[in-house]
Structure 1
Amino acid sequence: MDRVQIVHDNFLSRLAAGDFPPGKRRQDGLAPDRALDLFRAQVLSRALDIQSRAMQKAGQGFYTIGSSGHEGMAAVAAALRPDDIAFLHYRDAAFQIARAQQSGHDSMLRDMLLSFACAAEDPTSGGRHKVLGSRPLMIPPQTSTIASHLPKALGAAYSIGLARRHAPEHRCLAKDGLAMVSFGDASANHSTAQGAINAAGWTSVQGVPLPLLMVCEDNGIGISTRTPAGWIKASLQHRPGLRYFEADGLDIYATFAAARDAARYVRTQRKPAFLHLRMVRLYGHAGADVATSYLPRADVEADEANDPLLHSARLLTDAAVASADTLLQIYQDTLADVAAEAAKVAKRPHLKTAEDVMSSLIPPRRDCLPTNGPDQTDRDTLFGADAAQMQAPQPMSRIINWALHDLMLEHAETLIMGEDVGRKGGVYGVTQKLQARFGRDRVIDTLLDEQSILGLAIGMAHNGFVPMPEIQFLAYLHNAEDQLRGEAATLPFFSVGQWTNPMVLRIAGLGYQKGFGGHFHNDNSLAVLRDIPGVIIACPSSGSEAAQMLRECHRLAREEQRVCVFVEPIALYPMRDLHAEGDGEWMTTYPPAGTRIAMDTVGRHGDGEDLAIVSYGNGHYLSRQAQKVLEDDGISVRVIDLRWLAPLPEKALLEAVNGCAHVLIVDECRRTGGQAEALMALMAENAVGSYARLTAEDSFIATGPAYAATLPSRDGIVAAAKALLG
């Protein structure tokens, strides 16, 4: 039978008969008119759920995961301020509606129907997805891949305290605000949620301000898998650094009181709290889900008997806030209003073309204060004795370090965060002296959790900071890549550019480390980054180039709100020599402050017309070595340094190889999924002529003497070049 109709009929008949589920008497705290407003929000949430299913059946709607059973979240909204940033569970329509009431936002009914219909006029996502969210209501749109929004909520909370000490140019969160994040009991078991909860407690016990309210909506089931009775309370009640609150989420008075107390604690103590609300799930997981196919009918009917709208009706009639007839009229009028508006919304236009869909992949530029480079007096004081060495050739690691110093000196909103980046100065010393010179607020030593590192960066960006998180090794990114794929990169897309996550993610990576670490410290695969729409990937090969590209990535993040990934080849950090020991030819001087390398350019070394070798990173270094060998054999060669791996600088690359008889692509990443695949396709599509590729094998990297056995080498490049030339 249609469970939606059953719940609807039960509400009508039981309300008319005064047959309410049992519960406690109402608590004080909610004024009568506010309590009635919350009921209206609950009813509108329910009516939208009903209508979403009707729209789907008519081919007019495309999303049916609803909020029925979770309408108590309206009371949580009432306990918070409209300027408290809220990262919502997908069952929180009642929260968004109640917040709209607080803010005088009177178009929420239509806005949410536009979202159901994927209409191009949807003010949240522009018709790209049904998401809760609103820029005016301080609710970032959320399409969480199971709890992936918790780490960034932690970052936003952290940013509130930090912004009180170091106000960023584009701050948008109130000084005394808090960050709220909600999620289900099933999601609480996900490693992402557990990591964020742990990170919140870890931060709190160290006395670091973290105004974060975590709300667990416990309906006892995740799709078809039961949550053990008492599991959430037993596992969360006594977590270090975390204050636990609980309430019956079916009771708007009790929920409001608990949420008010939890929010007061978070706001005044600047510490995280966990609010555990017990709820029910009505209608199953989504429209196509039949709960009685995997749950006993008695259990389903027991939840339906506990309908939160009936609980609210009991509380409101007992308190003489409204009569049963008044509540019934609100319910029926709301159903009618929603149905009438849905008929109009169904006629609104949709996105049609690829251009329509993709128009929000790239976030909009934002106005920034002009910059003229760091103050020279401050710079001289900051660098001290280091300043005298800047005119002498240096290895890449030191030049990147100086570039980070200059960026942080010039831009006070720039932050670095990651494991070991502060006191230790990074595993390879790239962030040495930064914490001593800029303080622990701006160079943040984090716990060992890549999801929390990236979540911290994403949340900080919500409050106007320009984060530069560091992932210690490329292989460790895989623990947290969804923070880029599912959160940072998608946010402009799903918000029509209203929300962004600008950052420069620095990753030490790629291969060729002699005898150290095997594949965990020598990871030569960038495939998981290359296919994320909108993400910029940079990979320098020399120190001067690294500094100028890093500055450009920072500019792209700060001014154009882009997500940039800056891959630093570990093996090139200390590299000094190119052809012979002691020649010092791979070291460079520090480029003048402010100089940058644009992402639509490539590097070119030599003017040979016999062969163009296209590479990047370590491959570029080896190709330069091979260039000398080949030229000694009478072959004229030019070496092209890609620098930018996504988006590929296609026009500049084609111009750079123009006039060459042959093109050899050298890719230190694997044959499958490497950059060479796209480069070979580019050559074919543009009829370049004779071309070939030399790549790493489809293999992990060994430790010890065989560290480079599966990777391109100088001699391998020479052999491949001669084979191509015939």
Structure 2
Amino acid sequence: LHAEARRVPAAQAREAVFGSAAQLPERQPPRHLAIQINQALHDLLCKYPSSLLFGEDVAQKGGVYTVSKGLLKAFGPRRVFNTLLDETMILGMAQGLANLGMLPIPEIQYLAYLHNAADQLRGEACSLQFFSNDQYRNPMLVRIAGLGYQKGFGGHFHNDNSIAALRDIPGLVVGCASRGDDAAMMLRTLAALAQVDGRVAVFLEPIALYMTKDLHALGDGQWLFSYPAPDQALVLGEGRVYAAEANDLVIFTYGNGVPMSLRAARAIEAELGWQVRVVDLRWLVPLNAGFIAGQAADAQRVMVVDEGRHSAGVGEGVITALVEAGFGHLPLQRVCGADTYTPLAGAAMCVLPSDNAVTSAARVLAQDH
């Protein structure tokens, strides 16, 4: 599986797709998340001739956020095409195409649009291998733009932090990248899972991080990363650890929570003198309980920053993994979203985790312990 994830598309084909050897993405300056997902999709369609990318407005328009820009020109309308505005049809067609031996890469335009079609994954796509005893497979890599903090589009139809419906599906794999280089490597791994093992995979893309370039200050460029060479991929369940030696406080998080926690870590270190480790889970289903326990082994305190809702969020799974591994005695705080739909405009920030909420939770840990 990992060998397949690291398998490189033909050099000539890549150069034709990207324009020339000099224009290959790994030879370009560091880029933000949306561009690197776009580059990774070019690579995947180049690598897998049987792959098809489709969804609402993905072709001529290049997607709402330009993530699929240029794919139609590079691969043509037989492999990159628009669909009806119907998520049930998008995922149903993905199953049919997969049954015909294709590798579908459907896009669900917003996470909130998934819920009316979730049973296409739960009751149909993910159940086929199980109920056929692996006689039949319908592999696919479903891209879903979602989570909160998006500015410009208000309300719960465009800011949706409910991923409980995905966590509940047997056999599904869900990855969520917070930065561009991770996104490219995770897409390669998820595509390999589909191609080799026939898995149904979901790649959850944080809309609010698509265009993010800075981390601590305007213009610092610290959230721009170099495109990983095409032979680099991630092991399923492997997280990213920032400040691995720090153990005064270990923060487990993902998605938008990663840059948020890194900013808060700097404030916590300045105020409390703690050295803070930030752990980006990257893989949300299944959670890697062994990795989580390993990161907690030398921790003095633990925090879970989960932009999902208080009930049925990823944070519950992280805390369960910690308790079952024998770390229930550690001082713990959880920062998460409220059990509500995301309201309009600035009101959204009242129900989602924030930099200040993370820092405040650290102060509670300092007072209590």
Q: Which residue of 1 aligns with 2:18?
A: 383
Matches within 5 A, 1:649-664: 649-664=288-303
- 1:595-645, Cα deviation, whole Å (9 max, x unpaired): 111112111001211100000000112001111111223111100001011
Q: 2:310 aligns with which of 671, 674, 677?
A: 671
The farther-off stretch of 403-412 and 649-658 is 649-658
Q: Which amino acid aligns with 1:682?
A: A
Indicate conservation of the 8 Å contact 1:515/1:705, yes or no.
Answer: no
Shift of 1:377: 2.5
* CA distance in 2: counterparts of 1:641 and 1:542, whole angstroms: 10
Matches within 5 A, 1:162-177: none
Shift of 1:378: 2.4
Partner secondary structure for residue 705 of structure 1: helix
Indicate conservation of the 8 Å contact 2:5/2:188, yes or no.
Answer: no
Q: 1:531 aligns with which of 162, 165, 168?
A: 168
Q: Which residue of 2 aligns with 1:513?
A: 150
Indicate conservation of the 8 Å contact 1:662/1:725, yes or no.
Answer: no
Partner secondary structure for residue 518 of structure 1: coil
Q: 2:259 aligns with which of 603, 621, 630?
A: 621
Matches within 5 A, 1:47-446: 372-384=7-19, 386-387=23-24, 390-446=27-83
Q: Which residue of 2 aligns with 1:258?
A: none
Indicate conservation of the 8 Å contact 1:505/1:566, yes or no.
Answer: yes
Structure 1 unaligned spans of 5+ = 1-364
For normalisation by structure 1, the TM-score amounts to 0.48
Shift of 1:563: 0.6
Q: Which residue of 1 aligns with 2:326?
A: 687
Shift of 1:712: 0.5
* CA distance in 2: counterparts of 1:511 and 1:600, whole angstroms: 23
Partner secondary structure for residue 587 of structure 1: coil
For normalisation by structure 2, the TM-score amounts to 0.94
Q: 1:712 to 1:388 in 2, by over 3 A?
A: closer
Partner secondary structure for residue 421 of structure 1: coil
Shift of 1:517: 2.7
Q: Which amino acid aligns with 2:183?
A: A
Q: 1:370 to 1:479 in 2, by over 3 A?
A: closer
Structure 2 unaligned spans of 5+ = none
- 1:562-595, Cα deviation, whole Å (9 max, x unpaired): 1101000000000000000000001111110021
Q: Which residue of 2 aligns with 1:480?
A: 117
Q: Which amino acid aligns with 2:34?
A: S
Shift of 1:686: 1.9
Indicate conservation of the 8 Å contact 1:556/1:562, yes or no.
Answer: yes
Shift of 1:709: 1.7
Shift of 1:656: 1.7
Does 1:702 find its partner at 2:343? yes
Indicate conservation of the 8 Å contact 2:237/2:282, yes or no.
Answer: no
Q: Which residue of 1 aligns with 2:84?
A: 447
Q: 1:494 to 1:392 in 2, by over 3 A?
A: same
Q: 1:519 to 1:696 in 2, by over 3 A?
A: same
- 1:670-718, Cα deviation, whole Å (9 max, x unpaired): 0011111111222222221222211101111122122322111111101
Indicate conservation of the 8 Å contact 1:666/1:717, yes or no.
Answer: yes
* CA distance in 1: counterparts of 2:49 and 2:127, whole angstroms: 27
Q: 1:722 aligns with which of 353, 363, 368?
A: 363
Shift of 1:389: 7.7
User: RMSD value over aligned CA atoms?
Assistant: 1.7
Q: Which amino acid aligns with 1:379?
A: R
The structure showing larger relative contact order (alpha-carbon pairs under 8 Å, at least 6 residues apart) is: 2
**Aligned length, in residue pairs:** 360
Q: 1:447 to 1:663 in 2, by over 3 A?
A: same
Partner secondary structure for residue 490 of structure 1: helix
Q: 1:620 to 1:659 in 2, by over 3 A?
A: same
Shift of 1:436: 0.8
Q: 1:687 to 1:710 in 2, by over 3 A?
A: same
Q: Which amino acid aligns with 1:632?
A: A
Shift of 1:647: 0.5
Q: Which amino acid aligns with 1:613?
A: I
* CA distance in 2: counterparts of 1:526 and 1:370, whole angstroms: 26
Q: 1:536 to 1:690 in 2, by over 3 A?
A: same
Q: Which residue of 2 aligns with 1:203?
A: none
Q: Which residue of 2 aligns with 1:498?
A: 135
**Bigger Cα Rg:** 1
